[in-house]
Amino acid sequence: MHQQTLGVLALLSILSGCAGSLGNPNAYLTYRDEPLVAQVARDMSKQQVLEIGGAPSGVMPRSVNPGSCHDYILTRDGQPQAYHVSFDSAGRVDGKGFRTCTQMEDDERARARRPVGIGGGGGY
């Protein structure tokens, strides 16, 4: 029993670490096979992302780091889930996750205001 509990805790720890940069671990488990989640990778071009995911539901310029961000809505069993893919100034993927572009920008602004050495993480 004790080993099973430790195993479950270890698995949850691993999943939260792996999916942490993407956002919600439950959303990752639910949508991990969706093309945008499974196939989009760092440094892909905007055109490659559009071929995989189609037209985004919204596009916004980034204010903290130069570039742009595409909002998508993933749906499973009638439940919508926000997902974003962000691009650097060269139009290459530099991030993705289960939140809107606005939420991603808010997080970047908060990180930019933090003193060096406090908090952490970065994300992909």
**Does any domain span residue 43?**
yes
Q: What percent of the chain is modeled with pLDDT above 70?
A: 74
The pLDDT tens digits of the residues spanning 32-63 come to 999 999 999 999 999 999 999 999 999 999 99
Q: Tell me how far apart the 2 most distant CA atoms of the chain are, in Å.
A: 52
How many domains in the chain? 1
- Give the domain extent around 106: 19-113
109: domain CATH number is: 3.30.1450.10
- What size, in residues, is the chain? 124
**Does any domain span residue 62?**
yes
The pLDDT tens digits of the residues spanning 10-20 come to 444 443 333 34
Q: Name the nearest CA neighbour of 93 among 53, 57, 121.
A: 53
Q: How far apart are CA 56 and CA 64, in angstroms?
A: 21
**Does any domain span residue 91?**
yes
